[in-house]
Chains A and B, each alone.
Chain A
Amino acid sequence: MANYLAQFQTIKSTCNHLIIAVEDVSDLWPTVKNSFEERLPFKRSCLNNKTRNPVFVENLPAEYILTTDARLRSRFPQEQYLFWFREPYATLVLVTCEDLDEFKTILKPRLKLIVQNDEREWFIVFVSRAHPNNDQATKMAKKVYAKLEVDFSSKKRERCCKFDIYAPEANFWEDLEARIMESVRNTLDRRIQFYEDEIRKLSEQRFMPIWNFCNFFILKESLAFMFEMAHLHEDALREYDELELCYLETVNMGGKRREFGGLDHGDDQAALLIPGNKSLTQIVQDDSFREFEFRQYLFACQSKLLFKLNRPFEVASRGYSFVISFSKVLALHESILPFCMREVWVITACLALVNATNSQYKEGTATPEIEREFYRLQGDLYSLCRVKFLRLAYLIGYGTEIERSPVNSASLSMLPWPKPAVWPLVPDEAASEVLLKEKMILQENPRVKHFGIQRKPLPLEPTALIREANRRRASLSAGNTSEMFDGKLGFADGSGSDASSKTSPSSKAQAISMSRTYSTPGNFEGSIDRPMRLAEIFVAAEHALKQTISNPDLLKTLSSIQDIEQKYMDLTKGAADNYHRSWWKRHGVVLDGEIAAVCFKRGNFDLAAKSYEKVCALYAGEGWQDLLAEVLPNLAECQKILNDQAGYLTSIVRLLSLDKGLFSVKERQAFQSEVVSLAHSEMKHPVPLDVSSLITFSGNPGPPLELCDGDPGTLSVTVWSGFPDEITLDSLTLTLMATYNADEGGKLRSSSATVLKPGRNTITFPLPPQKPGSYVLGVLTGHIGHLTFRSHSFSKAGPADSDDFMSYEKTTRPVLKVSKPRPLVDLSAAISSALLINEAQWIGIIAQPINYSLKGAVMHIDTGPGLKIEESHSIEMETYINAAQISTDMANSGDARKDDNENFEQLSLLDGKIEFPDWASNVTSILWIPIRAIDDKLARGSSSGAPQKQSIVDGMRTVALKLEFGISNNQIYDQTIALHFTNPFHVSTRVADQCNDGTLLLQVTLHSQVKATLTVNDAWLDLQDGFVHAGQDDGRPVSGFFPLVISPTSRAGLLFRVCLGNGTALDENKAQPESILNISYRIAGDRTIGAHPPVAAKSNEIEGTSQDLIFRSALILQRPVLDPCLAVGFLPLPSDGLRVGQLVTMKWRVERLKDIEESRVPQTNDDVLYEVNANSKNWMIAGRKRGHVSLSTKQGSRIFISILCMPLNAGYVHPPHLGLPDIDEANISCSPAGPHLVCVLPPALSSSFCIPA
C-alpha cells in the first residue's frame, strides 16, 4: 500500500476541491455550463463534520466535471476506494424533454438506469427550453416536469428541479445549491464513515508486527485532506493532531532503531512551515517515515490549517513548544547530526515562525489576552533564537565580544555545549586562520569595568570550552569507559541531555563514522596526542559550521563580527519589543539592557544611556540591588561620556547607596572621590543632586526640643552618611517644616564646613527664633564644592530600611516645639495701698517668672512724670514670699523657717537698668526701688459743707518697666505699673460754733489716707488775713494731747479758736490768702502694705532715728455771709387762676434791706438792673424784660416791678423769674426762696384761639 504514496501525493496536488459530476443526458451542458459555473464557489453551505454536527462553510469551491471526462473515467475501482475523496460528491443529471411520450418511453428508462446502478448521490435538473411566449411549449414542459417529479422525487427527498433557460425562476439557483449541498453532505457523511471504519480497523492492528504506518498515514491524511477540501479545517486539523500523536507513539516504541534523518543538505534549515519541502516518498523508511522530516511535515500541515483558520497565535504557541521539544529530540541525535545542527535548526525555525506568524497576524483582531500572549511567544521565539545564535558566535571565537551580562550568562552558562560525537578538527589548510584567531585572542583585552570595579566576569560557558572540546576528542581514543562516563554526565546535565545510556558504543561508533564533520580518520588519528588550542577549536568550529549551515544568509551573519553584532541586535530588539508589547516588562527591559550594551560598544552612548536608564529604573524600583549593581556602573559610564553631569552624579550616588556588600570598600571610595572631584571641578551648570538615599538625617531620639515663642536655641540632628570615607560638606542647611501648615519653617544653617564621618554624625545647628508650632525636619541641603545637594529622606533610627516603601508613610516625629506666646513673667506692684507723696518711698515690684528662666534678665525702669528714683539709695532685691506661702510655711515647719531659702541683695541702677542676679532666675523675687513722687501743690483741706473728694488721679504715678530676658535677652516684657501716692491726711474743716463774742471754733478733722499708723506730734495753724487766733496763744492745740496716734483710715479732730481780726496782718509783706495747717507727724508702716517711713539716707539710718515729717495743708477760711441787702418778693397772682391766652400781670416787690456799704457792693448809683427770664415756650412777655429801676439807697426803700405776660401752655409751669444781675446772689434774699410753679388752666371752650397742637 505504501506504493500508493507517490500516487497519493500527486492526487493531492492536483485535486484540492470538491467535484460534482454532470451526467449530460440531453446534451445540454454546453448551453448551461456558463450559467452554472459562474455561480461557483458556493456562497453558503452547511456540511456535517466528523461528529455529525452542522458546520457552516462559506465560499466552498467546487468543479463541475462531465461524467464522460477522462478524469472520471480512467480509474480502477480499487483506486477509487483508496482515494475516494477525489470522486464526485454529487451527480447532476441534466435532462430536457418536450413530449410526454418521449419522456415515458425514452427518457424515463434511461434515467432509471443512471440512477439505479449507482450509489452516487444524484438529482435531476430539468431544463426547459420553452420560450415564455410560447404557451404551448411552456405548458408541455410543465407537464413533463410534473411527471418527472412524480417519478423521481419522493416525499422524503426532492430530487428534481426545473431550469428555464429563457426565464429562470428566481429561486432556481437556491434550489440547485440546496440540492447540490444535500448531495455533497450525504456523500461526505458516507465517506467519513468509510474512512473512519478503515482507520479504526487499522489502528486496532497497531501493535501487530505487520502494521504499517504508511498505510495508516495515507488513510488518515486522506480523511484530513477531504475535510480540507470541504473547508472543514477544524476537522482536518484534528486528524493531523491525531496523526502526530499516533506517530510519536510508534516512533518512541522501543526495539526498532530507525534512521532519524536530517543528514541531507539543507536540513539545517527548519522546514516546519513548508509541507512540501521534501516529498514524502523521500522520507519513507521501511514502514514509517524518518522522524526529522516527518514531524516537520506534520507541523507544517497543522500550521497551514491554522493559518487558514486565521489563528496565527496558535501557530506561534504550538510552534514554540514544537521547537523546544524538537530541539530536545535533536539533542538526542546530536552525535549523528552535523556539528551544531541543533543550534542552526532552532535559529532557522524560530525565525521562520516569527516571520510567518507576524505576517499573518493582524493586530487588534484577537482579544487583548491572546494578543499579549502572542507577543510573548514572539518574544520567547526571538530570545530562544538569540541564545542559540550567541552560542554559535561563541563557538567560532567571538565570545569575547559577547556582553557578560546576567541575562547572557544565565542563558548561556547553563546551556550545555554541543555534543558532537567528536569535536571537529582543524582542517589542514586553515593554519593561517588559526594564527589569525590566535592573534585575535591575544589582542583582545578584557573589558575593564568602570570605576575599576573588580568583579569576576560572569560565565558564558557551562564548562571551559577547551576542556570540553578536547575531552570530546579524547573520548574516542580512550574508549568505551570514558564514553560511558561522558554519557552519564550528559544525562545528569538535565533535560538537554545527551544520548541515553542505552546507546551502545557500537552504534555510536557507527554514527560517528557516518558523521561528515571530520574529514578523514587518518587525520584524526594523527592529531590525537596533541590537545587542541582554543584558537584551533574556534577555527575548527567555524569550518564545521560552514559545512553545516546551508542558508547563505545565516552563514553571512556569522562571517564577521559586524554581521554577528547586527544580527544579535536585530534578535535582541525583536525580543525586547515583543516582550514590551506583551507587558512582560522585566524580560523586555533586561533585553533593553543588552541593546544598550551594544549601543555602548558602538559608541552610541545616547541610546545606550536611555536603555540603561530603563533597566536601572526597573531594578531600582523593585529593589533588586544585586542586579542593579551590575548595570548601574554602565549607565554611569554612559552619562560620564555624554557629559551628563547631573545624571552621572545621580548614578554615582545611587551606586553609593546600594547595599554595602555589593561593592568593595575600594570601589566605593572610588565612587566618592569621583563625586568630590566633580564637585570641585568647574561645573558649567551647577546641578542639584538628590542624595536622599545616601545622606539621611533624623532628630535626636527623645522628646522634641521645646522652646518658647521667640527664643533661639540649638538643635542637634543626627546625620547618617553613606559615604565610605569622610566627606567635607562646605555648607549645610536644614529646613524645618511646620507640621500643621504648608509653610516652610525656618532654615538652620551650619555655616562652617562640616566633615561627615561614615555612619552616624551629630550636627548641632543654631536655631533662630521660630513661629509657634511644632516642626519636623524638612530637607537637608548643602554644598560640596560647587555641587548643591539635597536630601529629603529622614530616617527613624538609621540608614537601614531606606529602601523600604513604607518609610514615607511613617509619621515623622516633631523635633521642635515652639509654644504659643504666653506670659513668661509677671511684673506687678507689691503694694496695694497708697504711698506717701513727696517722700522717698519704696515701691516693690514682684517679678514672677512663669516656668521660664529669668537668667540674665535686665529691667529697664522708666519713671513717669512726677516721679523720680532716689538714686542715692541702692535697690534691694529679695525673694518674695507671699502671705499665704508664709502661713503654710509656718504651719508646716513651725518657726523653723529656712533662711537659706531667702536671698537678699542690693543692686544698683545703671542707666536705668537693673540686672537680675542669678538666684532670681527661677524664683519669684521682689525688687524694692526707692522713689519719690513729687507734687508741688499744697494739700487742700475741704470744708464740711461741701466735702470735696480728692481726685485719685492727682496721686497717680506710673512706672514703665521693661524686662529683657530669655536666652539672648530676646524676650521683652513691658509693664506699666500704676502707683498711688497720697498725702498722709486729708483735712476737712468746719465751724463748730460761733460764739457771741465773735470767736469761731474751727474744727479740723484729719482723715488718715494711708494704711499706716500716723503719730501727730504737733499741729499749728497759720491763719490767713482777716483771722486771728483767739486769745494770745500761737494757735496750737493743747500740747498735752500730743502725740496723737491715728490708726490707718481712721479720723482725728483738732479744735482751733479763731476770731475775725481786722487788719492785724496788714503790716506783713505778703497777704496770705489761705490758712495753712501744719502737722508734724511720724509714720509707722510696712512697705509691703503701703505707706511707710520714708527711705532714710544711709547716714540717718545708722542713727536709727527718724525725723518728724511735716504735713502742710491749706485751708480757706471764709468770712461768714451775714445779711442780704435786697429782698425780692413775688406777689401773689389773681385768685381766679391763670388761663391760657389770658393776659396776666406779674408783680415783684424789691426792697432794700440795709444800706449799701460802698466797699462791698460795686454800685455807684441807685439804679438797680433787673432782668425777667421766662421760658418762651410757656410765656409770652409783653414789655421790657431788662431795665434799670431806680431804688433809693436808703434802708427800707421799695419798688414794684410788673410785667404783662400771657401763659401759652396749660399745666404747672415755672413763672417768669426776676433777677438782679448786678447784685451778688448772696446779697439777695428771695421769696419764695427757690424756683416754684404756678398752675395755668386750659383756655375756655368758647375761645376762638388757635391752640398749637
Chain B
Amino acid sequence: MTTTACFIIVSRNDIPIYEAEVGSAAKREDAAQLPQFILQAALDIVQDLAWTTSAMFLKAIDKFNDLVVSVYVTADRTRFMLLLDSRSDDGIKSFFQEVHELYIKSLLNPLYLPGSRITS
C-alpha cells in the first residue's frame, strides 16, 4: 500500500504547464502516463463542473478505481489537478490554496509568460 499522487497544473489552454509526482511510492515504471491519462480525461468533467459552482475548489470530481481526482480552478481557468489515492478534502484544499498563492507569485514574475511552462 503506497501513497502516490500526481499533481499537474493545466493552463487555460489545456496545456499542462507543471507536472510533479509527489508521494512516497516509487513510480511504477510501466505506468508512467497513467496519471497523465486520468487527469487528462478528467478535464472533460472539469469543463462541465466548473460552471456549476462558484467555488474554486471542486473537491473530488472523478474517481478512477481507487484514485481520486481533485481539482481547483483559479480565476483564469488554470486548473490544479491532483490525483491521489486517499482523500481528505481539508488537506487537499489547503494544499491547493498554498499552490494557488505560489502560482500567483510566479505569475507576477515579469519574466514569466502566462501560459508557458513553469520550470521550478
Contacts and interface: CB of A to CB of B under 8 A. Distances in A.
A510 B85 CA distance: 34
B59 interface: no
Interface stretch (B35-43, B70-78, B93-101): B35-43
A879 B110 CA distance: 54
B43 A410 contact: no
A410 B44 contact: no
Nearest to A414: B65
Nearest to A387: B65
A622 B116 contact: no
Interface in B6-48: 13-16, 29-34, 36-38, 40-41, 43-45, 47-48
Contact of A494 (B30, B41, B45, B65): B65
Given A413-B31, A456-B29, A492-B1, A803 B15 contact: yes
A626 B27 CA distance: 15
Interface stretch (A579-587, A822-830, A1011-1019, A1136-1144): A579-587
Interface in A488-504: 492-496
Contact of B65 (A496, A583, A585): A496
A74 B45 CA distance: 60
* Secondary structure dominating the interface of A: helix
Contacts of A414: 64-67
Nearest to B28: A459
Given A587-B44, A803-B15, A630 B116 contact: no
Nearest to A623: B15
A622 B37 contact: no
Nearest to A372: B48
B40 A624 contact: yes
A410 B13 contact: no
Contacts of A406: 33-34, 36-37
B76 to A, nearest CB: 14
A493 B85 CA distance: 10
Contact of A801 (B31, B47, B116): B116
A495 B85 CA distance: 11
A283 interface: no
B30 A458 contact: yes
Nearest to B52: A369
Interface string B53-81: 00000000001111100000000000000
Contacts of B65: 411, 414-415, 494-496
Interface in A322-374: 372
Contact of B116 (A372, A624, A806): A806
Given A409-B31, A409-B34, A626-B36, A806 B66 contact: no
Contacts of A82: none
Interface in A396-431: 406-407, 409-411, 413-415
Contacts of A804: 113, 115-117
A343 to B, nearest CB: 15
B29 A622 contact: no
A582 to B, nearest CB: 9
Given A495-B65, A806-B113, A458 B44 contact: no
A459 B31 contact: yes
Interface string A124-145: 0000000000000000000000
A590 B116 contact: no
A458 B16 contact: no
Contacts of B32: 626
Contact of B33 (A492, A584, A626, A803): A626
Nearest to A413: B31
B115 A410 contact: no
Interface string A795-807: 0000001011110
Given A458-B31, A801-B116, A804-B116, A622 B40 contact: yes
Contacts of B13: 622, 805
A584 B31 contact: no
B40 A627 contact: yes
Nearest to B113: A806
Contacts of A584: 44-45
A622 B31 CA distance: 21
Given A585-B44, A805-B115, A806-B115, A495 B66 contact: yes
Contacts of A458: 30-31, 33-34
A1196 interface: no
A626 B37 CA distance: 9
Which among A410, A415, A622 has the highest number of chain B CB atoms within 10 Å? A410
Contacts of A590: 37, 41
Contacts of A494: 65-66, 85
A803 B15 CA distance: 9
A553 B16 CA distance: 44
Interface in A806-850: 806
A413 B30 CA distance: 11
A801 B117 contact: yes
Contact of B16 (A459, A493, A583, A623): A623
A409 B114 CA distance: 34
A701 interface: no
Contacts of B29: 456
Given A624-B16, A805-B115, 4 more contacts: A586-B44, A590-B37, A804-B117, A806-B113
7 contacts: A413-B34, A495-B63, A622-B13, A622-B14, A623-B15, A624-B16, A626-B36
Interface of A: 372, 406-407, 409-411, 413-415, 456-459, 492-496, 579, 583-587, 590, 621-624, 626-627, 630, 801, 803-806
